[in-house]
Structure 1
Amino acid sequence: MYDQKLIHTVGKWFALSHQASRRYSEKHGEQAAQVQMWDEIHDAILKGAPISEEDKAAMADPKQFGVIHGDINISNYFYVPEEETLFVFDWDQVQRGWYMWDFAQAIYFVFVTADTGDLFTGTGKFPECDPERFLAYIIEGYESVAGAGSVDREQLQRMIALRNYFVETFCREAIKQGDIPASMDGFCRIMLGYYEKKRAGFYDKKEDEGEKGGAGASE
């Protein structure tokens, strides 16, 4: 979460893949149109998700919307630091979606980790987890390829929110349906607990307490 070269490389990969996607859609529009839409994955659990008018309009803009990987996370790529190269795999969630929706997948969980630390073991926060620094690095990598201003910051924030909506909706549906692997059940219950605490302001309170403790210690 603090390796600038790695994060920069991830950002560059996104920009390069989005450029390739635009070229593919321009050359093979008929085939691209057959790829599933972003709200059709996982049995269409995102049908009816809250989308802004700006993002609805962006779906008709090939500069903002096209064929994407859809699931870039640290378990779906291999990084070669000597070459600053990313090898991406696990393409089973390829979809048509906003490029910033694709980008947000690699970002949203850093904010979760900043709130919780190790969400699965409860061992406390990671001092080196700085989501704003991560965001700056990954955008820097993206824009080093796609150009300054190519990342719509406001749209990216909306897509990070939509990623959280997706994860919460997915987890609720998975537990409701049952018959899921124990590891997935555990993950979903942990994430649902996180979202409930987040809405209740639990993590904001912890930050306030930390600030008060720090002030007291310095006196």
Structure 2
Amino acid sequence: MNRKIGKRVVTTSLVAIAIISLGLPVHGQTIGARYDRASYVPGDGGTLSVTVINENPTATLEVRNVTIYWPWAQLVDGKWPSGANMTDNLNPWTTIGSRNSGNNVLVKTYSFTIPSWYGGSIFGTSSNCPDSSGPRYDTSYHGCVMAGITANPPRYLVNQPLSIQMSMPTYTPVSIMSQWLPLATLVILIIATAFLGLTWSRLGRLSKKS
């Protein structure tokens, strides 16, 4: 008797799990980002291409906005500096098709300028980003790309970390030849001038004697 009840409980549980699984939406949406260069130095400018892909086989995807917190986003002297983040509120909202529609990719490109004080790292940087529920704005965020999409409730696709690779500073040593060549040239010119002056003086004396 107990064995039959146990089987019924297990069967009922499996059916419930199957029903719940069938009722869950298949999102299949991804977001990525790519810089226009492999590395940068402080003060450089560049572009970042943000890509949103809808892999859902049947449903479209409506993108409302794109928000970027650059790797150098942080409070500076207690203030949020200009250029630390940016927001693109799409108007109208952009709808991209399902996976096999041939129109399931959205690409947006944004420009940036790296602050002169930002050194970063040659190995990239870490990030601090929200989850899919947000919130959208916070001064603790850095290194994030967020795409707001239409859902119930509204949510975000978050790409992290948005790292950036900074080039190592280079130093070109000045060779000994390049240091001494101008000085040697000056010395030679002085000697040549003195020699010409001495020769001219002797020629003048000889002409007087003759």
Which TM-score applies when normalising by structure 2? 0.24
Kindly name which structure, 1 or 2, has the bigger radius of gyration based on alpha carbons: 2
Which has the larger share of helix? Answer: 1
Which has the larger share of strand? Answer: 2
Structure having greater relative contact order (Cα 8 Å, sep ≥ 6): 1
Which TM-score applies when normalising by structure 1? 0.23
